[in-house]
């Protein structure tokens, strides 16, 4: 068929897709402005209630001692083959078994895996990375440096750069979004997956269209589409919004100590420390709409019954995309969003059972 005819036949479909994307972005930015008004009010209230803290975040001069605990592992750096970026990671148990690679979420860093680093280092080589833009890892400023393709290339470079041909990939929150995609496009590098509180983006997209309540739970992601303003709001009153996110009595991390809180805030308080992490969100709608994807990697999925950000119904939506027999899913009663830190013992029990055949 002549190329001109093919182009003419496809033109209506392309136009419809462009119109759909334009309509989507108009909704996203409308929601972003609304979220900015709400979070702006919250940030201003924090400043008025604590005027001594001021309108900016206080830079931390030194990381808290808990981040240097030798029981968690050795601090190392790896130069990535694809990008040349340098990623920071904490490693323990080299030579004790397969590679177990941990990917953290927002607003966290490698330290969110402290319980798992202690638990599994005797039988696995455990490695918790600071993803690009976080912590001591390199943090390019450009939004285009945080696309899913580049994030997946980072994980590939970490696995191969550490001298392995495959890994057990453990992920939470934003790390889970990267892990889901990685298991689809690099299946030979993932032997097993453990996913906590995170859905594939295509599943999240379809589910949110049908369940408007999920969009309300994720309202912050619309704010994060805007330039510079989210960084300003999150840092006001010495990062009070982040502090509340992590320590709230009902929705935060139970029993988080002041030093452990500082282990997260230290990185965000450094110059430009929030921009890299927020750039992940600024790429969320780049490829909308997404095509449904079949999931086949053997996966343990853990979900909090009372997760304030993600509805339990997403678990069933994820299961509907799986090859039968490849997904083991558990909704933890009473648990929230931060399962690796709030419910480590339950998580470890499920993980040991899920991975037992690899150790026999």
Catalytic residue list contains 307: no
pLDDT tens per residue, range 56-65: 889 999 999 9
Q: Which of 171, 196, 336 is nearest to 255 (CA)?
A: 336
CA atoms within 13 A on the CB side of 77: 8
Q: Which helix (H) or strand (E) holds 332?
A: strand 327-332
Query: Is 80 exceeded by the pLDDT of residue 7?
Result: no
The residue from 39, 89, 204, 281 that is catalytic is 281
Other C-beta atoms closer than 10 Å to the C-beta of 278 total 23
* HEC readout, 195-245: EECCCCHHHHHHHHHHCHHHHHHCCHHHHCCCCCHHHHHHHHHHHHHHHHH
Which residue among 146, 207, 337, 350 is the active-site one?
337
Q: Are strands 86-92 and 125-129 parallel, antiparallel or unpaired?
A: antiparallel
Name residue, tokens 């935060």: 252
- Our answer to whether residue 173 is catalytic in this structure is yes
Confidence band for 292, pLDDT divided at 50, 70 and 90? confident
Model confidence pLDDT, tens digit, residues 39-89: 999 999 999 988 888 888 899 999 999 999 999 999 999 999 999 999 999
Q: What is the pTM of this model?
A: 0.94
Catalytic residue from among 130, 154, 173, 206 = 173
Strand partners, 329: 301
Terminal Cα-to-Cα distance of the chain (whole angstroms): 58
Q: What is the pLDDT of residues 309-349, one digit of tens each?
A: 999 999 999 999 999 999 999 999 999 999 999 999 999 99
CA torsion sign for 337, 259, 194, 182 is positive
């Amino acid at each position: 068929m002549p190329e001109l005819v093919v182009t003419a036949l496809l033109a209506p479909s392309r136009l419809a897709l462009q119109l759909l994307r334009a309509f989507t972005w108009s909704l996203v930015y409308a929601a972003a402005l609304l979220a900015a008004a709400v979070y702006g009010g919250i940030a201003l209230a924090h400043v008025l209630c604590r005027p001594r803290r001021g309108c900016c975040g206080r830079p931390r001069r030194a990381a808290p001692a808990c981040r240097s605990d030798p029981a968690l592992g050795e601090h190392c750096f790896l130069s990535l083959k694809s990008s040349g970026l340098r990623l920071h990671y904490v490693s323990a148990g080299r030579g004790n078994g397969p590679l177990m690679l941990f990917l953290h979420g927002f607003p966290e860093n490698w330290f969110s895996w402290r319980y798992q680093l202690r638990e599994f280092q005797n039988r696995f080589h455990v490695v918790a990375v600071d993803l690009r833009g976080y912590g001591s890892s390199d943090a390019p400023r450009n939004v285009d440096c945080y696309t899913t393709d580049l994030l997946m290339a980072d994980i590939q470079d970490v696995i191969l750069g550490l001298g392995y041909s495959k890994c057990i990939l453990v992920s939470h929150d934003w790390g889970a979004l990267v892990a889901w995609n990685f298991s689809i496009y690099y299946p030979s590098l993932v032997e097993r997956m453990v996913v906590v509180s995170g859905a594939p983006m295509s599943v999240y997209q379809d589910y949110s269209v049908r369940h408007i309540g999920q969009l309300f739970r994720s309202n912050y992601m619309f704010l994060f589409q805007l330039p510079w303003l989210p960084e300003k709001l999150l840092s006001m009153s010495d990062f009070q919004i982040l502090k509340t996110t992590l320590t709230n009595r009902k929705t935060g991390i139970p029993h988080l100590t002041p030093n452990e809180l500082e282990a997260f805030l230290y990185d965000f308080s450094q110059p430009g420390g929030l921009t890299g992490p927020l750039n992940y969100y600024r790429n969320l709608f780049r490829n909308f709409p997404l095509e449904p994807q079949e999931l086949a990697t053997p996966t343990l999925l853990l979900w909090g019954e009372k997760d304030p950000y993600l509805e339990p119904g997403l678990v069933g939506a994820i299961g509907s995309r799986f090859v039968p027999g490849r997904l083991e899913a558990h909704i933890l009663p009473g648990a929230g969003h931060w399962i690796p830190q709030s419910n480590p013992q339950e998580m470890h029990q499920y993980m040991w059972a899920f991975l037992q055949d690899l150790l026999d």
